[in-house]
Structure 1
Amino acid sequence: MMRTFKIWTYKEGDIPLMHNGPMKYIYSIEGDFIEEMERKGNPMVATHPDEAHAFFIPISITKIVYFLHTPAESIGFFERMQAIVEDYIGVIAQRYPYWNRSNGADHFFVSCHDWGPFVSRGNPKLFENFIRVLCNANSSEGFIPSRDVSMTEINTPVDNIPIMSNGQSPYNRSVLAFFAGGNHGVVRENLFQHWGNKEDNDIQVYSYLPKGKNYTELLGQSKYCLCPSGYEVASSRVTEAIYHGCVPVIIKDHYVLPYSDVLDWSQFSVQVPVNKIQDLKRILEEIPYSKYIEMQKRVIQVQRHFSVNIPAKPYDVLHMILHSVWLRRLNVLLRHVPN
């Protein structure tokens, strides 16, 4: 892929809504990807659009929300957001032949914001073939795995890129399962109802950590890290678990797991249906210890596929995203469009 796949990033549009994205906190992968695609020296960047196999639309939904959304303007904001993206597509479709020759099937954008999927709802015909790279990959809300790409949400610290840590040895992890986070959304409400603030040292579920407990240390001390949906299916909990050598427990309905074209998540994670939350402890305790050890070993092995590097390095998360786009681009048949 790295030797042959070429991507053209459109130059139209201005900062801050285009060619710029968040580099910190939970939507940071959006900005990291935009920066990588506009980085000089990137071997996958096409020098001319005619040599490109795919076309990147460098719009940041997070920046649109940040700069244009106010509580007073909530009514009608989705339509306004949709119009910005549609206007951009109208410009490039008029100036170049590439969108029209494939009806947008070799074009893609990247959005980690929860509202990213809503961009295409206002005009489904226009976006029928368009590749959406989304953190909020919910198949019940229109995400199509054969066309769209699921990518991981990564909570990047203010002063650095995320750091990997193997945590405690799998033989020394004293906590069976751990979660700390806001009690919002139906899934988390269910989780807190059954396991929140219980006198159970095996399943530790907190909305706020008790004094003296450290979030990062608990990730590294736990065998399993619970990754429930919040308001949406996207969450940085999965990557945080992987970064600390903790086997993720996916508690989400309709979530399309990232990079599942090439990663077999059953080998390094546990998936628990939302309606089985009350059985969580039994489910985890019934996993043979030998199987847990093998899954934890594979978590360490896949860490490199979730790591962030600027510039990107082979097999890291940015290349995993590009590989997913490349696989979907392979199915696109182009037709000649006269100038």
Structure 2
Amino acid sequence: HDLELSESGFDDADSPDGTVEVRVPLMQGRVDVKLERVELGLAKARLVIREAIRNKDKRPPLTDRDYVPVGPVYRNAYAFHRSYLEMEKLFKVYVYEEGEPPVFHDGPCRSIYSSEGRFIFAMEMENRMRTRDPELAHVFFLPFSVVKMVKMIYEPNSHDMEPLRRTLSDYIDVLSTKYPYWNRSLGADHFMLSCHDWGPYVSSADGHLFSNSIRVLCNANTSEGFNPSKDVSLPEINLRTDIVDNQVGGPSASRRPILAFFAGGDHGPVRPLLLRHWKGKDADVQVSEYLPRGVSYINVMRRSKFCLCPSGYEVASPRVVEAIYLECVPVVIGDDYVLPFSDVLNWPAFSVRVAVADIPNLKTILAAVSPRQYIRMQRRVRTVRRHFMVNGPPRRFDVFHMILHSIWLRRLNVRLHGQD
């Protein structure tokens, strides 16, 4: 099966119904009643969401005790809210219990790869949307950590990633032998999650995992096979401590004297160009490789209107979420990066996208944003921040639930049908 899925997104009256039918072999000619029940629930949810998409701007916002999505930060706030409520009501995730820590059921929670470990931990602790009965599941989670694989299995400097791929291939063999669920859909209702640069490569250990499954990846690079209609862009969040509140909040636009700021290593294809054009050349566009001793990186971001987020070795950058946390409008520099939650969030409303070829024109592009427009964008950054917050335990509409919602949307794009 090569699955061709339509892009999920809340723009068109037809979305998200560009579904693909996956024919499931019937066991001994019998109808799989439980699978049909699961699919019937999803079909009803599709109808509700499609109706919400069609009624954009025609109905008052839905009521909600915690938060009501409204405004231009969303592609369709009403449809997103309806979809989110349908997810909470229906969605069930089965976490395979096979596999031993630390490679399975574990991951880093304080590092540049913290998105990987935090999600695995939160999913293991989840009660509402996790089911212990695989017959009730809409999706199946493969709870391995590529970061831990690299640490435990990879031989440093060997450039041999085959042991990682073999570990994952063997794991899928175990699951597909013990359970019927992988084989019946060829992985289309399964998902993996990885924030390591090598996540996409490791996923190629199994052709169905790469082509059919939902791959939740920080390295969301369309030039390397990332498919936005099937795969999920995972925010890269560099957590140094468990207390996220210290990294949150910033002053108003009038107290941000620096136009644009970046400090970081000179690596990857994009950053050398940025440093060559702007390093130490303009007081308004403060670009450097290293900050002077005693200068706080976070404090400089808080004094900047725009925070530059160029790709490094891979397309994702933790600076995007750092900027959002500190109420600095992110400037995403890169050509092949699918931004997180872009099926729901209207990124142009609260960020700037600059092509690599336009790096020499950075100041001109950013200076063209009027003070009034900037104030609006910064206010929207503050609004959208709740969707990137890491909470322990998770709270509604935070980053954990937004990741699950992205997976939910992609599961809606697949229909499993029995066949004789």
For residue 71 of structure 1, the aligned residue among 142, 149, 156 is 156
For residue 286 of structure 2, the aligned residue among 204, 227, 236 is 204
The residue number in structure 2 matching 1:134 is: 217
String of CA shifts for 1:204-227, please: whole Å, max 9, x gaps.
011110234211111111000000
Whether the 8 Å contact between 1:9 and 1:56 is mirrored in structure 2 is yes
Matched, 1:329 2:415: no
Give how far 1:185 is off: 1.3
Give how far 1:126 is off: 5.0
Whether the 8 Å contact between 2:168 and 2:205 is mirrored in structure 1 is no
Matched, 1:169 2:252: yes
SS of structure 2 residue aligned to 1:83: helix
For residue 36 of structure 1, the aligned residue among 119, 122, 139 is 122
The residue number in structure 2 matching 1:50 is: 135
What does 1:139-218 align with in structure 2 at a 5 Å threshold? 139-161=222-244, 163-198=246-281, 200-218=282-300
> Would you say how many aligned residue pairs link Structure 1 and Structure 2?
334
Give how far 1:162 is off: 5.7
The residue number in structure 1 matching 2:18 is: none
User: Are the structure 2 counterparts of residues 272 and 72 from structure 1 closer, same or farther at C-alpha, using a change threshold of 3 Å?
Assistant: closer
Deviates further, 314-323 or 167-176:
167-176
For residues 43 and 63 of structure 1, what CA distance do their matches in structure 2 show? 27
The residue number in structure 1 matching 2:369 is: 287
Whether the 8 Å contact between 1:36 and 1:42 is mirrored in structure 2 is no
For residue 60 of structure 1, the aligned residue among 145, 163, 174 is 145
String of CA shifts for 1:232-263, please: whole Å, max 9, x gaps.
11110000000000000000111001100100
For residues 192 and 212 of structure 2, what CA distance do their matches in structure 1 show? 12
Matched, 1:229 2:311: yes
What does 1:94-109 align with in structure 2 at a 5 Å threshold? 94-109=177-192
The runs of 5 or more residues in structure 2 that have no matched partner are: 1-86
Whether the 8 Å contact between 1:220 and 1:244 is mirrored in structure 2 is yes
| Segments ≥4 residues shifted beyond 2 Å | 70-74, 120-127, 158-166, 335-338
User: Are the structure 2 counterparts of residues 8 and 162 from structure 1 closer, same or farther at C-alpha, using a change threshold of 3 Å?
Assistant: farther
The runs of 5 or more residues in structure 1 that have no matched partner are: none
Q: Which residue identity lines up with residue 112 of structure 2 in the other structure?
A: I
**What is the TM-score when the length of structure 1 is the normalising length?**
0.95
For residues 11 and 158 of structure 1, what CA distance do their matches in structure 2 show? 28
Whether the 8 Å contact between 2:107 and 2:145 is mirrored in structure 1 is yes
**What is the TM-score when the length of structure 2 is the normalising length?**
0.77
User: Are the structure 2 counterparts of residues 221 and 126 from structure 1 closer, same or farther at C-alpha, using a change threshold of 3 Å?
Assistant: closer
String of CA shifts for 1:35-86, please: whole Å, max 9, x gaps.
11111x5211113111111100000000000112232532x32x22111111
For residues 297 and 282 of structure 1, what CA distance do their matches in structure 2 show? 22
User: What percentage of residue pairs aligned between the two structures are identical?
Assistant: 54
For residue 4 of structure 1, the aligned residue among 69, 82, 90 is 90
String of CA shifts for 1:272-325, please: whole Å, max 9, x gaps.
100010010011001122111110000000010000012211000011100000
SS of structure 1 residue aligned to 2:394: coil
Whether the 8 Å contact between 1:225 and 1:248 is mirrored in structure 2 is yes
Give how far 1:101 is off: 1.6
SS of structure 1 residue aligned to 2:307: strand
For residues 179 and 90 of structure 1, what CA distance do their matches in structure 2 show? 45
Whether the 8 Å contact between 1:239 and 1:306 is mirrored in structure 2 is yes
User: Are the structure 2 counterparts of residues 229 and 294 from structure 1 closer, same or farther at C-alpha, using a change threshold of 3 Å?
Assistant: same
How big is the alpha-carbon RMSD for the aligned residues of Structure 1 and Structure 2?
A: 1.5
